């Protein structure tokens, strides 16, 4: 990692910690801002973060698309689980599927795993960091068609995340294998 990248990672981390500090105080004054910066520097010196590289850039429109679809998915997921919970009948069947992600960076793996757990029917059981593979537990699957649909759904989600915050190289990684499998 180049020094420039490391400095950028550190600035992102400090900004995040200061934002949390300001929200905890609930007021934006020079004193809380300065206190937050000092505290963030101390925290980062005492508990160094693992080097999570944020190489991409933020793109407003894809972020808006991702947020809107994510909220819709969260609503659908909650409705689905609530229905499965209160409907009469046998317990729902499920499946564990492997989804090899196309962008294997730690940040992408983490974000996709977080988002997958909050959208309909899926939950992370295991993440293989070496190969960039997520193992997803899917609830309410009845056959092979459902399994493939769930796999395509996770890959779609990954594509939306990379389009929102990925780097140019990561965007390029989406394309050659982007065709539906």
Partner 1 sequence: MTAVLDVLAAVALVSGGLLCLAAGIALVRFPDLLSRMHATAKPQVLGLLLVLIGCGLRLRTAVDITTLVLVGAFALVTAPVAAHMAGRAAYRTGQVRRDLLVTDELADHPPDAP
Q: What are phi and psi of 128, to 5 degrees?
A: -100, 105
- CA–CA dist 132, 125 (Å, integer): 14
Q: What's the min distance (Å) between Cβ of 8 and partner 1? A: 22
The encoded tokens of residue 34 equal: 């300065």
The CB-of-95 to partner 1 minimum distance in angstroms stands at 4
Strands (E), the chain: 94-100, 122-128, 133-139
Residue 36 as a binder of partner 1 (CB under 8 A): the answer is no
Tokens 């409705």 -> residue:
79
Tell which one of 11, 125, 168, 169 touches partner 1 (CB under 8 A).
125
Of 139, 76, 131, which is closest to residue 99 (Cα–Cα)? 131
Site string for partner 1, 40-79 (x = CB under 8 A): ----------------------------------xx-xx-
Per-residue contact flags (x/-) with partner 1 for residues 142 to 161, judged by CB under 8 A: xxx-xx--------------
Is there a contact between 152 and 123 (Cβ–Cβ < 8 Å)? no
Q: Which is nearer to partner 1, 5 or 20 (CB)?
A: 20
Q: Taking CB under 8 A as the rule, does residue 137 contact partner 1?
A: yes
Pairing of strands 133-139, 94-100: antiparallel
Residue 113 interacts with partner 1 (CB under 8 A): yes or no: yes
Joined tokens for residue 38: 């000092």
What residue ranges bind partner 1 (CB under 8 A)? 20, 22-27, 74-75, 77-78, 81-82, 84-86, 91-98, 113-114, 116-118, 120-121, 123-128, 130, 133, 135, 137, 139, 141-144, 146-147
């Amino acid at each position: 990692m180049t020094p420039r990248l490391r400095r950028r990672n550190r600035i992102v981390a400090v900004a995040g910690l200061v934002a949390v500090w300001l929200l905890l105080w609930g007021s934006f004054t020079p004193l809380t801002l300065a206190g937050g910066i000092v505290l963030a520097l101390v925290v980062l010196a005492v508990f160094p973060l693992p080097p999570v590289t944020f190489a991409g850039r933020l793109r407003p429109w894809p972020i808006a698309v991702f947020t809107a679809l994510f909220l819709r998915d969260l609503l659908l997921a909650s409705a689905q689980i609530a229905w499965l919970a209160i409907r009469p009948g046998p317990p729902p069947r499920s499946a564990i599927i492997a989804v090899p992600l196309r962008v294997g960076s730690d940040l992408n793996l983490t974000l996709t795993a977080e988002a997958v757990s909050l959208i309909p029917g899926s939950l992370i059981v295991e993440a293989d960091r070496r190969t960039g593979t997520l193992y997803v537990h899917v609830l309410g699957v009845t056959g092979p068609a459902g399994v493939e649909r769930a796999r395509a759904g996770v890959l779609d989600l990954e594509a939306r995340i990379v389009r929102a915050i990925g780097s140019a190289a990561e965007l390029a990684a989406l394309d050659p294998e982007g065709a539906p499998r």
